[in-house]
Amino acid sequence: MLSVVVASWAGEAEPVFARNPDVLHDAASTMKVAVLAALWRGGVNLDAEVPVVNHFRSAVGGEFGNNADYDSDSLPWELLGSHVPLSLLAERMITHSSNLATNLCLARTTPQSVAEVWRRAGATRSSTPRGIEDHAARAAGVNNLVSARDLVRLLRSLAGEPELLALLEDNDFRVDLAAGLPPNTRIAFKNGWIPGARHCVGLVHPQDCPPYLLAVCYTGPLASGADRSDPAARLLARISSAVWARRHGIGTSP
């Protein structure tokens, strides 16, 4: 299943292109944008030093932990047992898509705060009710889900928070939407990947026309789950390149 939404950055205009925009996909790591916004808006002291642990409360009771072999970022694992600024964990959650850092950040906010981020964005179908690798919750049917339309709404909701968009520009995994753009093109984006799914949402800043939003969600056998060599990443790159070629028709300046 392939979902694509292309929209102007300006205002609340309807997408200029939509394919399966409201189909739900496993959120993978795209949900980390909602966690980041919940931390930022919740008044949490990001300079506070927090313990780096690997045990978290499951959404269905009990505890769970992350598996280092499934994490794309080794740094938080090297910090286990120490205390680090929450801001460092928030950064690694976005720039290196750390699963351990994500659950540590989730522990400093609430499910209600994350749900409020989606509500404020105008999302109608997406939700983030559990942490990464909460297998008991998944088995009970508690899943993190997104649609391409809601991912575009989520990114647009950050318009008044340039600090968060700047952090998204530092994403290190530039193999899908970013790979389909000319070198040095600005893009604030977050991707997510698991075996069977690859997604990405981005705010692209061309130099010759207004910025635009693009979300692509793919669920299918092409997605290997590899962070940088996923064949599905190349599919997303081709879509990004095709949208770039038509960028002048997407929208007008605010």
Dist CA 96 CA 81 (whole Å): 20
- Over residues 156-181, mean pLDDT: 97
Res 40: pLDDT: 95
| Residue 7 tokens, joined | 């929209």
**The token pair that represents 135 in the structure block:** 């297998």
Is residue 160 very low, low, confident or very high in pLDDT (cuts 50, 70, 90)? Answer: very high
CA distances, 130 to each of 59, 139, 142 (Å): 6, 12, 7
CA distance linking residue 201 with residue 216, whole number of Å: 6
Alpha-carbon distance 206 to 212, whole Å?
8
For the chain, percent of residues with pLDDT exceeding 90? 95
**pLDDT at residue 122 is higher than 60:** yes
> Cβ neighbours of residue 78 under 8 Å, at least 6 residues apart?
none
Judge contact between 52 and 81, C-beta under 8 A: yes
- Contact between residue 146 and residue 24 where contact means Cβ atoms under 8 Å apart: yes
For CA atoms 192, 46, 116, 164, give the dihedral sign: negative
Q: Taking CA 89 as the corner, what is the angle to CA 67 and CA 201, rounded to the nearest 5 degrees?
A: 85
CB 147 within 8 A of CB 3: yes
| Cα within 13 Å of Cα(41), Cβ side | 21
What contacts 188, CB < 8 A, 6 or more positions away? 155, 165, 166, 168, 169, 202, 203
Over residues 229-252, mean pLDDT: 94
pLDDT at 12 exceeding the cut of 80: no
DSSP-derived pairing of the beta strands 49-51 and 83-85: antiparallel
pLDDT > 50? residue 253? no
Per-residue pLDDT at 252 exceeds 70: no
Q: Are strands 212-219 and 197-205 parallel, antiparallel or unpaired?
A: antiparallel
Mean residue pLDDT across the chain: 95
pLDDT value, residue 14: 85
